[in-house]
Amino acid sequence: MQPDLPVLRLGQQGPVLHFAHANGYPPAAYRPLLEALSGHFRVLAAPLRPLWPGAKPESIRDWSPLADDLIAWMEAQGLEHVVGCGHSLGAMATLMAALRRPELFRALVLIDPVLFPRWFSYLWRWLIRLGLGERLHPLIAAARRRRRVFESAERMYELYRRKPVFARLSDEALRAYVDALAAPRPEGGVELRYSPEWEVQIYRTGMLRDVETWRALPRLKMPVLLLRAAASDTFFPQAANLFLRRVPQTDLQVAPDATHLLPLEKPQWVAERIINFVREIENFEEPLHELD
C-alpha cells in the first residue's frame, strides 16, 4: 500500500484499530461509525487500492493483492497487534491479511464479509471461465450504468436520498457517504471518487479466493467478532454457521432490520458491539503504539 496516501485518523487513546472500507465506499463514508469508536480507539482508515491515484483495475485478478497492500502498509507504519476491522470487501482484505500475518493483529471485527458458501465459490469460478460472470452478476451491470458526474454534492445527495438502497441510512450517514464519494471537478460539479471501472473489477474478481479462505480459517486463533445483517444479501446464515464451526472463538451477532450496509445504517449499534468485544478480550490500559 502506498505510504503517502491520506489516512483517516481519529482518536487519541486506546488500542489501534484499523478500518478497511467496502467496494465503492471510501473511508470517510464511515465517519459516524469511526467517530463513535474514536473515544475508545486510535482509529486508522487507509484507502484500499481502488482509491490510489493511477491504480489500474487490471492490476488485480483476485482480492489477495488487497491483503498484501494492507500488510505492506502496516509494516511501513510499524504497526502490530492491531484490532483489524473491515466491512464487506474490507472485511475480506483484513481476514486474508490476518491469515497470512497473524502477528499483525490482536483481534478481528468482520462486518458482513463477502464470504459465500463454498459451493457458490466453485460455481462463480466456472461462470468466470465460461465468460458468463459479468452477464449474471447484477451489481456489475448496475456499476456500469452508474452516473459519474453531478451538478453538485447537494444534488448528488438529493438523488441518492431517493434510492431504496439508502432508505435505512440517516441523513447524517448519507451526507457522510456523499461527501466521501464526491470529488470536485476543475470545470465545476463533482464526480465519483471511486470509479465504476474499479467497482466492476472488484465484483468480477470476488469469490475467486473464497475456497482457499475457507480452508485456511481453522488456522485463525485470535478472537473474532462477526457482525451479520439480518437482511444481508451477501453474508448468508449458511456461511456464518460454517465460519463458527471453523473458528469457534468467534462471537457472532446479528443486526435486526439491517442490510449489507449495516455499518452505515446502524453505526452506534456496530460501535457498541466493537467496544464491548475489545473490552472483554483485553485491558484498555496497555501501552499505546507510537504513530506518526
In a domain, 101, yes or no: yes
In a domain, 98, yes or no: yes
In a domain, 2, yes or no: no
In a domain, 261, yes or no: yes
pLDDT of amino acid 292: 36
Domain count, the chain: 1
In a domain, 241, yes or no: yes
54 or 292, which is more confident:
54
Nearest residue to 139 via CA among 84, 193, 202: 202
What mean pLDDT comes out for the span 201-227?
92
In a domain, 201, yes or no: no
What mean pLDDT comes out for the span 235-243?
95
pLDDT of amino acid 201: 95
In a domain, 158, yes or no: no
Task: Report whether 133 contacts 125 (CB < 8 A).
Answer: no
| pLDDT tens, position by position, 273-282 | 999 999 998 7
| pLDDT tens, position by position, 135-159 | 656 777 888 899 999 999 999 999 9
In a domain, 289, yes or no: no
Please tell me the pTM assigned to this model: 0.92
Which whole-number Å values give the CA distances from 202 to 139, 163, 207, 292, in the listed order?
10, 22, 10, 31
Q: Which of 114-123, 143-152, 229-238 has the lowest mean pLDDT?
A: 114-123
Range of the domain at 231: 8-129+209-281
Cell numbers placing 15: 488500542
241 or 287, which is more confident:
241
Q: Which amino acid is at 10?
A: L
| pLDDT tens, position by position, 36-85 | 999 999 999 999 999 999 999 999 999 999 999 999 999 999 999 999 99
Which CATH number fits the domain that encloses residue 220?
3.40.50.1820
